[in-house]
Chains A and B, each alone.
Chain A
Amino acid sequence: MRKMLTIISNVLRGSASRNGARVVVSARTYADFTPQATFDIKKCDLHKLEEGPPLQAVLTREEGLQYYRTMQTMRRMELKADQLYKQKIIRGFCHLYDGQEACAVGIEGGINLSDHLITAYRAHGYTFTRGGTVREIMAELTGRRGGIAKGKGGSMHMYTKHFYGGNGIVGAQVPLGAGVALACKYQGKNELCVCLYGDGAANQGQIFETYNMASLWKLPCIFICENNKYGMGTSVERAAASTDYYKRGDFIPGLRVDGMDILCVREATKFAADHCRSGKGPILMELQTYRYHGHSMSDPGVSYRTREEIQEVRSKSDPISLLKDRMLSNNMASVEELKEIDVEVRKEIEDAAQFATTDPEPPLDDLCNHIFYNDPPLEVRGTNPWTKLKSVS
């Protein structure tokens, strides 16, 4: 009976998408599934906080499908980038995010697009959640004119509205993020800034300088340490005297969050956002997560960790699988439905990759542009005294 209904609903849904048919058709499929469910989530370890995020999260079907689609898109996008890099179509630095999808998508679920976010160089996922399209992200990786930075930035320098990159210098993005938070407070728009860094960066001096000023001035800043256990090839035990990154803010309250569970990340982010918006100042979150790839494409990722470890995380803690299992076992979606999303995502990535490999490279006239903003055109010296190039804003 159920199978028959599913077939009917698929057929009807097919026709619905063709001619934009009415709600009553989807209500048929909708009635099949649980509209929302409540899930138990792991308790967060707390530092200088009386209470933490709730121990349960409500997930609606719509949210679940959207999170699934977003995470799957990010996953496939990164895997496609891996492929293109091995084909030498992407060059230079390429730091992949697969395994950590729940962080980016969960964080975005806890804030608004009108809030601000800055991260380090493992930034493709965030560029996507902050509004960049797969097409323009991939075309930036392949260095084409259709790239999100017109091919001039590359993997580590992608920007969108209220997203400040993509930053290559480890730790430098943290003071920048606090500066964005200062601007939020100054301009009184009740916006906040999410400021991300890794376990490797967590030992940087400028981060402690930032903790101090953010706390003194009560900046609306959520500091988030994405702890994927390895700073390049150095494990956290070998790099940090204290690996309790959520406590490293000392006077800043902190929480340690399961970064592989998107609901956990989302609830923690909402909790942190409330803290900031209520004027209490900064807060720190440590997301315990994992990257499947090495540090970058030039790192196989198995010289400092075992294949068994990677495999174990993949089989037991994969963020996409966790969400999928939750939704299926609570009848919030069907296997076919999710497979269909997979197919659509695959197609989207293929199209984007196609664009990224066929779009032309930036024109040479663009070489010297974008030095200064809002300035009259200026002359730039070329490689020799006779070559004078033009630069416009």
Chain B
Amino acid sequence: MIKSVLIFNQLGKPRLIKFYEQIGTTLQQEILREIHALVAKRPDTLCNFLEGCHSMGSDSRIVYRHYATLYFVFVVDSSESELGILDLIQVFVEALDRMFENVCELDLIFHFDEIHYILMEVVEAGMVIETNLAEISRAVNEGKQLIKPASEHSRLGIGALRGFV
């Protein structure tokens, strides 16, 4: 089971945090800080697996990947294959890339809810439900189709100001 998915930048600012166990807000932030401290100081030549994260329980391992300025961290238990999870992170990032066309950190900052919805197509409640890139993209697009008509009429007032951004 996947216990948690975290995306943060080199300074530790969160871009996405998702916990599949019920954990309170303050504890979530502590875990984020602890994992950031463990992961950020590792140069890229070291392996991408870590054991011994105390706050997430004894059975947990950290599998992470470093892309540009972001760390994608999956905290899993011993039932998951580490190399498999590494591949999964790759699939997730490729899905983001498809949705945003050359995704960068700014995309994650401004569209954080869409990242959540993409993640929802890959992992549900700690279990992986889809690993096929085409299927993930299709599902996300289906959701996008549904919200377009609704948002257009409500955002008229603010849409004009968007041009200044």
Do the two chains belong together in a single complex? Answer: no
Taking Cβ atoms with an 8 Å cutoff, the residues of B that contact A are none
Taking Cβ atoms with an 8 Å cutoff, the residues of A that contact B are none
